Each structure stands twice: as C-alpha cells, then as structure tokens.
Amino acid sequence: MRCNCCTSVAWQALYRRGQAYAAQGDPSAAVPDLAAALAASPAAEKPAIAEKLSAARQASGMSADAADDDDDTEQIEEVRAGVSAQVSKTLLLSVGNS
C-alpha cells in the first residue's frame, strides 16, 4: 500500500522534471513526465499541469489533444516506475539514517 506522501512526491517530481525538460528546450522529453504528473496529481493541480502538457505537446509537434494516444502510455508507466523506485529508495535511506 502506497502512502499519500509518496504519491504527492511522485507527481510533484514528475511535474518539476517535465518543466525542467521544457525549459531546457526538450519538450518531447517533458511530455511523458507531465502526462504522468497529470494522471497522478490531485484535482486542484490538474488545470495547471494540463496547460503545461498542452504547451509541451504543441512545442514538440504533437497534437494538443494527443492525451488519449496510446503512444505515451508505455513511457508514462516507465517514468512512474522509475520515480516510485527513487522515492522508495530515498525513504529507505532516510529511515536507515535516523
């Protein structure tokens, strides 16, 4: 069972990394992270994330309504798995050091 704090950390990490990719001029790398952040974020955060995702899709030449495309699904799952592993590792390290 995953705690709420891990879910919160995961979507925020994905959102920030997506923003960083976009700011560095790599919007196609930002899309999977922003899409995963949108899927995992609380309802109050979804409009802002959706706006960033739409801008990244547009900048990378994807259609703005590509959110339903299956092409991103595999990438999103890989990103989620990676972030979950990093969060778990960080939590284990912090518990071990206390």
- What ranges do the domains of the chain cover? 4-96
Average pLDDT over residues 1-15: 69
Write the Ramachandran bin of 61: left for phi over 0, alpha for psi from -120 to 50, otherwise beta. Answer: left
Count Cβ atoms below 10 Å from residue 23 Cβ, excluding itself: 10
Measured distance CA(47)–CA(45) in Å, rounded: 6
Q: What pLDDT, in 10s, does the model give residues 15-73?
A: 999 999 999 999 999 999 999 999 889 999 999 999 999 999 999 887 655 555 545 56
User: Using CB atoms within 10 A of its CB, is residue 96 exposed (0-12), middle (13-18) or buried (19+)?
Assistant: exposed
CA 43 to the chain's CA centroid = 15
pLDDT at 25: 94
pLDDT score of 32: 92
Question: Distance (Å, rounded) from C-alpha 25 to C-alpha 2?
Answer: 34
Q: Is residue 93 over pLDDT 60? A: yes
Cα-only R_g, the chain: 14
The whole-number average pLDDT for the span 82-90 is: 65
Closest CA relative to residue 54, chosen from 79, 26, 34: 34
pTM (global) more than 0.85: no
Asked if the model's pLDDT at residue 5 lies above 70, the reply is no
